[in-house]
């Protein structure tokens, strides 16, 4: 079966494309991208004016909660949220119950993902058994089962020795170690960024140094091991300095930031909304500005959501008793468009590098380009479409977002995974002619 996307504005940083072009899909793969491609029996979709056609977005850091915490999210609801957020693939962290530290859990996640038939799912295995920081997990087995990286996310890799061994061992299999950088002793029982706002509100602080120290450690160890380390959800300028210094001396270090750390600051703590409680916490203005600068100058490699669904009841408690984390899959694109692209901080081209090209490269997974032969994972974006975020309308099973009611400029119009149109935004102008072609979930 052939599908021809006609008349869109194609942005593919890998191939240097940024202009009007047609995209021809044959089966599950991209056949070619070019101008005036003839229909030749293909099913033709006229891409509405103003829409962008980009390589499918990849969120390299999500929590799907299955197995074990299905009341928060399942692989099916999480991947439905993913495609509604423009993501054709997600990499899911191993802090499930049980922890994804052996093949059976990986296989279950992959089976659920196939049954759901929405976004692609790339499981991330645990660094250590039970993510307890004691013994290495069965990393080769995890790799064979389908894991693309290892991480003890939710917790830092506990000791420098374990981190070194993990880097060396996983490096043999080409798997990056993704670390949640945090010195647990310095974080102690902190619940918010250690700064004026937490201090005045009487919330115990998490100092910026708790993160930066661990990033320094990881960069040093990646250098020793000669293996790739990826810094998850980086939030402070001290960490950015360490990453920059590492990159300059040739260490294989990459890093990601979340949209919420790029949009909000710790000032949002006023009012004690538990939907601004995340780990790492929202930092101060200088940190936020430094991260945005890092995005623009290439020091930061990826934007990832750290999609962390929590049930309503779990967040409707005292601030210090609430779990850390917010959902992010369905709000990321609008936030990035509005606050970064339209604000002139990054270009669309850079946005696609951060949200598609680089995640694919770091995780060594297909995608991140519309080159011929690549999977037909395509996201259609409407940069000027007004998007009002409604927590109640999210496809995620959890609604824990601080952005409820925000109106932003830009959003997702449609999502194609493996040549199948799996999501059409009914609110996108011009979407009506696509709706009939949508493929129901398998």
Catalytic machinery residues: 306
Please say which residue, 205 or 325, places its beta carbon nearer to other proteins: 205
Complex with other proteins: residue 38 or 271, whichever CB lies closer: 271
Residues in contact with other proteins, counted by CB under 8 A, come to a total of 23
Nearer CB in complex with other proteins: 266/338: 266
Residues 173-202, one symbol each (x = binds other proteins by CB under 8 A, - = not), give ---------------xx----xxx-xxxxx
| Cα(142)–Cα(150) distance, integer angstroms | 9
Q: How far apart are CA 176 and CA 358, in angstroms?
A: 13
* CA distances (Å), origin 61, targets 95, 128, 332: 12, 18, 12
The token pair that represents 89 in the structure block: 């693939």
Q: Are the CB atoms for 247 and 222 separated by under 8 Å?
A: no
- The candidate with the shortest Cα–Cα distance to 21, out of 4, 39, 9, 3, is 9
Instruction: State which of positions 309-338 bind other proteins (CB under 8 A).
Output: 313, 316-321
Q: Token pair for residue 262?
A: 């790029």
What is the biggest distance separating any 2 CA atoms in the chain, rounded to whole angstroms?
67
Structure tokens at 315: 């967040």
- Residue 259, interface with other proteins (CB under 8 A)? no
Minimum distance from residue 203 beta carbon to other proteins (Å): 5
Task: Give the Cα separation of 398 and 331 in Å (integer).
Answer: 13
The smaller minimum CB distance to other proteins, of residues 201 and 441, is found at 201
- Closest distance between other proteins and the C-beta of residue 199, in Å? 4
Asked if residue 203 binds other proteins (CB under 8 A), the reply is yes
Q: How far is CA 337 from CA 269, 307, 348, 384, in A?
A: 24, 18, 8, 9
Minimum distance from residue 267 beta carbon to other proteins (Å): 12
> Which residues make Cβ contacts (< 8 Å) with residue 384, sequence separation at least 6?
50, 409, 410
Comparing CB distances to other proteins, the nearer of 201 and 224 is 201
For the CA atoms of 196, 408, 328, 45, what is the dihedral angle to 10 degrees?
Answer: -160
Q: Give the nearest distance from C-beta 315 to other proteins in angstroms.
A: 11
**How far is the C-alpha of 134 from the C-alpha of 280, rounded, in Å?**
23
Judged by beta carbon, residue 267 or residue 384, the one nearer other proteins is 267
State the CB neighbour count (10 A cutoff) for residue 345. 17
Query: What Rg value do the Cα atoms of the chain yield, rounded?
Result: 21
**In whole angstroms, how close is the CB of 279 to other proteins at the nearest point?**
17
Q: Which residue from 13, 55, 154, 205 is in contact with other proteins, where contact means CB under 8 A?
A: 205
Residue closer to other proteins, measured from CB, 12 or 266:
266
Distance (Å, whole) CA 229 – CA 311: 32
Least spacing, CB of residue 319 vs other proteins, in Å = 5
Give the shortest CB-189-to-other proteins separation in angstroms.
7
Residues 40-79 that bind other proteins (CB under 8 A): none
Contacting other proteins within 266-295 (CB under 8 A) = 271-272
Q: Smallest distance from the beta carbon of 292 to other proteins, in angstroms?
A: 23
Q: Give the position of tokens 């199948």.
A: 420
Q: Which of 179, 181, 230, 229 is nearest to 209 (CA)?
A: 181
> HEC string of 185-210?
HHHCCCCEECCHHHHHHCCCEECHHH
Provide the token pair at 161: 């020795």
Nearer to other proteins, 202 or 436 (CB): 202
Q: Which residues bind other proteins (CB under 8 A)?
A: 188-189, 194-196, 198-205, 207, 271-272, 313, 316-321
């Amino acid at each position: 079966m052939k599908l021809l996307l006609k008349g869109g504005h194609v942005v593919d940083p890998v191939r240097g494309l940024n202009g009007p072009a047609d995209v021809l899909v044959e089966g599950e793969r991209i056949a070619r991208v070019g101008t005036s491609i003839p229909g030749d029996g293909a099913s033709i979709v006229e891409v509405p004016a103003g829409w962008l056609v980009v390589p499918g977005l990849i969120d390299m850091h999500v929590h799907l909660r299955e197995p074990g915490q299905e009341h928060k999210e399942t692989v099916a609801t999480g991947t439905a949220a993913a495609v509604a957020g423009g993501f054709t693939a997600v990499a899911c962290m191993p802090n499930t119950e049980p922890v994804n530290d052996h093949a059976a859990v990986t296989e279950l996640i992959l089976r659920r993902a196939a049954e759901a038939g929405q976004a692609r799912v790339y499981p991330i295995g645990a660094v250590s058994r039970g993510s307890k920081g004691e013994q290495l997990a069965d990393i080769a087995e995890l790799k064979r089962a389908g894991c693309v990286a290892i991480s003890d996310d939710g917790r830092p890799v506990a000791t420098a020795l374990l981190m070194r061994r993990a880097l060396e061992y996983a490096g043999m299999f080409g798997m990056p170690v993704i670390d949640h950088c945090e010195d647990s002793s310095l974080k102690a029982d902190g619940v918010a960024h250690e700064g004026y706002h937490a201090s005045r509100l009487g919330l115990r602080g998490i100092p910026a140094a708790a993160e930066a120290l661990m990033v320094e450690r990881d960069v040093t160890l990646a250098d020793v091991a000669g293996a790739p380390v990826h810094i998850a959800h980086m939030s402070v300028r001290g960490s950015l300095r360490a990453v920059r210094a590492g990159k300059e001396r040739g260490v294989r270090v990459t890093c990601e930031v979340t949209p919420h750390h790029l949009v909000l600051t710790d000032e949002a703590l006023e009012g004690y909304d538990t939907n601004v409680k995340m780990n790492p916490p929202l930092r101060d203005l200088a940190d936020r500005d430094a991260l945005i600068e890092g995005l623009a100058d290439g020091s930061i490699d990826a934007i990832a959501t750290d999609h962390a669904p929590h049930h309503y009841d779990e967040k409707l408690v005292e601030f210090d008793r609430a779990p850390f984390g917010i959902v992010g899959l369905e709000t990321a694109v609008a936030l990035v468009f509005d606050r970064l692209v339209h604000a002139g901080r990054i270009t669309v081209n850079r946005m696609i590098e951060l949200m598609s090209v680089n995640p694919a490269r770091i995780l060594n997974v297909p995608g991140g380009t519309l080159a011929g032969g690549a999977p037909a994972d395509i996201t259609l974006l409407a940069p000027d479409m007004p998007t009002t975020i409604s927590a109640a309308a999210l496809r995620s099973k959890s609604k824990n977002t601080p952005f409820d009611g925000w109106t932003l400029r830009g959003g997702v119009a449609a999502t194609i995974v493996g040549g199948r149109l799996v999501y059409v935004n009914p609110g996108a102008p011009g979407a009506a002619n696509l709706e009939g072609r949508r493929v129901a979930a398998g």
